[in-house]
Amino acid sequence: MKTQKKVLACAAALVISLANIAAIAQQTIDRTAVPPSGPTPVLRVPTWTKTQLANGATLIVSERHSLPLVSFTITFLGGSNQFEPEGKRGVASMTASMLSEGTATKTGDQLSDALQLLGTGISSGVGGEEGSLGFVSTTQNFEATLAILADEMLNSTFPAAALERLRGRTLVNLTQAKDQPVVVGAQVFNKILYGNAHPYGQRTTETSVKAITRDDVMAFAKAYYQPGRSIVTVAGDITPLKAKAAVEKGLAAWAKAGDKPSFDYPKLPELQPAKIYLVDKPGAAQSVFNIGLPGPPRNTPDYFALQVLNTILGGQFQSRLNANIREQKGYSYGVNSNFGYGKGPGPFRAGGSIVSAKTDAALVEFMKELKGIVGEKPITDEELKTAKDSLIQGLPQRFASVSAISNAITSLVTQGLPDDYYQQYAKNVSAVTKEDVLRVAKRYIDLNHLAIVIVGDRSEVEAGLKATGIAPITYIDIEGNPAGN
């Protein structure tokens, strides 16, 4: 038995007595047995209130008083895909940045100083299908921060000089992005899958950024930041009553306007027979892989089966792809797969960065795992169970912080999911069978029509890729255009 314990805490006596008990237990400790888990904790999904403001916005309030924090977010349905005019890709993000450049009563510097003194900042962004404005503040500074957010949203003056500065910065960012193989790979992949006519294939370019005028920015702001398509979410150390009063006061000038956009997308380009699209990056130490094709939208009835499928294939560290290509073969620091669900046909994608010398060998392994999941290597009971356990028991993590709670609740509205989605989640995941997984794998991972996009050093990888015989090679440039042979 060990004596002379150095006990620093006040619980000295308790610790020593426990030590004695445990010392006896130690004689019989069997390290070979995996300690059993305790009873599954009861799922505690945050509750919330949902009301309609007079201006048409939806107000959601969820209370959590454990810390003096409030998360505030306005989420706008629809994004650059719905609201950007032809040829003006980038105007949505530009407008989001311009909101903080000055209002009718404050300069950009004054807005910034005021936020610094409140110890927080306002985040502002517009993505493909939704946008947001928001902050996390201390409870005490909530209303003062909300007042600044409202001023930026409603009274921005969009100074012309600020637009030129932001344009200059954006152009530098676009130039730098060309040097990043991972960014190039993702952009080219989208362009191959969706083409120029589909918003999912479009992106901000030098040409589109140069075409944006101050009028474009002002028109976008006016059309976009409207309550009729908004969800105002307040989560944290505040009651629904106080939150509603604060929002009605802070956003009093936000007049009823706007409605929910439709998410109609053009038809997808016709699927092409499987092809390797090789982007030459001389001197690259690795080849960046993106393999996939357009997939289902978020509202697919196959969602839960697809989640289980992806967890087995490439959603986790011990998923098939990473277990093979990283852990067994050592070809990569990490590979994965995912379904990019949206309102439209977001992509299925598998990929990662592969050491140049193993580019061909890795492609063989990627294809082996994709063939495996569509039937050649049936999923086991254990894989199915682990995937489901992982999805179901990971749920509490989604409510770990006030901003996480805000996201978890708001996403139900933006994705059109029922209020009891989280309560029903375990049931829905549990219902997935091995047959379901195989069915959705065959349906959505169409091996005959995969786009295999590889950004790497052509001189080092081309011969090996050809020798695999997996698919013919097409050469493209970093913009995704044909590069000749």
Partner 1 sequence: MINKRRVLSAVAVVQTIALTISLSVPLLGQRKSPASDSIKIPFETYKLSNGLTVILSEDHTTPTVAVDIWYHVGSKNEMPGRTGFAHLFEHVMFTGSGHVPYGLHDKLTEGIGGGNNGSTNNDRTNYYETIPSNYLESALWLESDRMGFLLDKLDIAKLNAQRDVVKNERRQSYDNQPYGRVSEIFSAAMYPKDHPYSWPVIGSMTDLSAASEEDVKAFFRLYYAPNNATLAVVGDFDPKQTKAWIQKYFSDLPQGKALERPKVALGKLDASKRLVYEDRVQVPRLYIQWPTVGFKHDDDYALSVMSSILSGPRTARLTKALVYDTQMASQIGAFQNSAEDVGVFQVVVIPRPEHSLTELEGAVDQVIQKFISEGPTVEELQKAKSGLELGFIRGLESNLGKANQLISGAMFYGNPNQFGTDYQKTLAVTAADVKRVASQYLTRSRIVLSVVPKGKKDQASKATESEAVTVVVGKRRGGRS
What residues numbered 201-240 form the site for partner 1, per CB under 8 A? none
Burial class (CB in 10 A: 0-12, 13-18, 19+), 343: buried
Q: Which of 142, 331, 341, 348 binds partner 1 (CB under 8 A)?
A: 331
Q: Which of 353, 406, 410, 414 binds partner 1 (CB under 8 A)?
A: 353
Q: Which of 47, 51, 105, 175 binds partner 1 (CB under 8 A)?
A: 175
Q: Which of 180, 424, 433, 459 binds partner 1 (CB under 8 A)?
A: 180
Q: Which of 132, 233, 310, 322 binds partner 1 (CB under 8 A)?
A: 322
Identify any residues that bridge with 335 across adjacent strands, giving them in sequence order: 352
Is position 160 an interface residue for partner 1 (rule: CB under 8 A)? no
Q: Which of 172, 197, 241, 245 binds partner 1 (CB under 8 A)?
A: 172
**CB 136 → partner 1: shortest distance, Å?**
6
- Whether residue 97 contacts residue 158, with contact meaning beta carbons closer than 8 Å, is answered with no
Token match 């993702």: residue? 186
Residues 369-388 that bind partner 1 (CB under 8 A): 386
Residues 6+ apart with CB under 8 A from 48: 60, 61, 62, 235, 409
Residues 247-306 that bind partner 1 (CB under 8 A): 283-286
Sign of the dihedral defined by the CA atoms of residues 185, 187, 190, 191, in that order: negative
Residues 92-151 that bind partner 1 (CB under 8 A): 108-109, 112-113, 115-121, 136-141
Three-state DSSP class for 70? strand
CB-wise, 330 or 482, nearer to partner 1? 330
Which residue type does 231 have? Answer: I
| Phi (first) and psi of residue 200, to 5 degrees | -65, -20
DSSP β-ladder status, 69-77 and 230-236: antiparallel
Q: Which of 248, 269, 271, 389 binds partner 1 (CB under 8 A)?
A: 389
**CB 135 → partner 1: shortest distance, Å?**
10
**CB 26 → partner 1: shortest distance, Å?**
6
Q: Which of 67, 197, 241, 463 binds partner 1 (CB under 8 A)?
A: 67
Is position 11 an interface residue for partner 1 (rule: CB under 8 A)? yes
**CB 303 → partner 1: shortest distance, Å?**
18
Q: Which of 176, 239, 433, 459 binds partner 1 (CB under 8 A)?
A: 176
- Tell me how far CA of residue 482 lies from CA of 113, 283, 325, in angstroms: 49, 21, 30
CB-wise, 110 or 448, nearer to partner 1? 110
Q: Which of 123, 155, 401, 468 binds partner 1 (CB under 8 A)?
A: 401
| Integer Cα distance of 383 and 313 in angstroms | 10
Three-state DSSP class for 465? helix
**CB 274 → partner 1: shortest distance, Å?**
25
Q: Which of 15, 211, 361, 413 binds partner 1 (CB under 8 A)?
A: 15
CB-wise, 20 or 448, nearer to partner 1? 20
Identify any residues that bridge with 103 across adjacent strands, giving them in sequence order: 156
Q: How many CA atoms lie within 13 A of 303 on its CB side?
A: 17
CB-wise, 186 or 471, nearer to partner 1? 186
**CB 327 → partner 1: shortest distance, Å?**
6
Sign of the dihedral defined by the CA atoms of residues 265, 268, 269, 275, in that order: positive
State both tokens at 409: 């609740």
Beta strands of 265-409 (E only): which ranges?
275-280, 286-294, 332-339, 347-355
Longest dimension (CA), the chain: 80
**CB 54 → partner 1: shortest distance, Å?**
31
Is position 6 an interface residue for partner 1 (rule: CB under 8 A)? yes
Three-state DSSP class for 406? helix
CB-wise, 191 or 388, nearer to partner 1? 388
DSSP β-ladder status, 275-280 and 473-476: parallel
**CB 67 → partner 1: shortest distance, Å?**
6
Q: Which of 51, 207, 213, 318 binds partner 1 (CB under 8 A)?
A: 318
Is position 72 an interface residue for partner 1 (rule: CB under 8 A)? no
**CB 224 → partner 1: shortest distance, Å?**
24
Three-state DSSP class for 134? strand
State both tokens at 339: 């379904």
Q: How many residues bind partner 1 (CB under 8 A)?
A: 107
The torsion defined by the Cα of 339, 260, 250 and 411, in degrees rounded to 10, comes to -20
Q: Which stretch binds partner 1 (CB under 8 A): 64-72, 89-97, 122-130, 301-309?
A: 64-72
User: How far is C-alpha 141 from the chain's CA centre?
Assistant: 29
